Amino acid sequence: MNNKYNSKLKSLVYNYDDYSYVRILDKKQNKQIEIIERLNQKNIYIYYFEKQDYDTIIFYNKSNKIYRVMVRFDKQSSNFYLINDFLDLKMRDYFLFENLVLYNNLNHTDISINDFNYFDFIKKIDA
């Protein structure tokens, strides 16, 4: 229960206490343990994980099978970038973002191809 109340998602998600919380430890050989936090409520799944240079949120609406990947490069900010996707205004019902900026990942070099593959791995957890 302490993990849920110490989660960084607490300050980013509306009605945070209404969600179920799971902390996933990804222990693969030859790499550092990745901690993935997952919130879910009905058909909405929200994943959060932290890298050294940025934080990532993956939003998944299971009813329409739509994913959104958002990153934050300034960890002190509430500004997130939506990577290479279209804006879903309904997301404002879930997040307490100051700004959500559309960003084309093909022009961005701060995220490695390995991290994009990791995003795809997380998408498969509840697919």
Are the C-beta atoms of 115 and 51 separated by less than 8 Å? yes
What pLDDT is recorded for position 19? Answer: 95
List the chain residues with pLDDT less than 70. Answer: 1, 29, 84-89, 99-109, 127
First-to-last CA distance in the chain? Answer: 26
**44-50 and 66-72 beta bridge pairing:** unpaired
* pTM metric for this prediction: 0.84
> How many other C-beta atoms can be found within 10 angstroms of the C-beta atom of residue 67?
16
Are the C-beta atoms of 123 and 58 separated by less than 8 Å? yes
What pLDDT is recorded for position 73? Answer: 83
What pLDDT is recorded for position 2? Answer: 85
What pLDDT is recorded for position 89? Answer: 67
What pLDDT is recorded for position 106? Answer: 46
What is the Cα–Cα distance from 32 to 35, expressed in whole angstroms?
Answer: 10
Find the length of the chain. Answer: 127
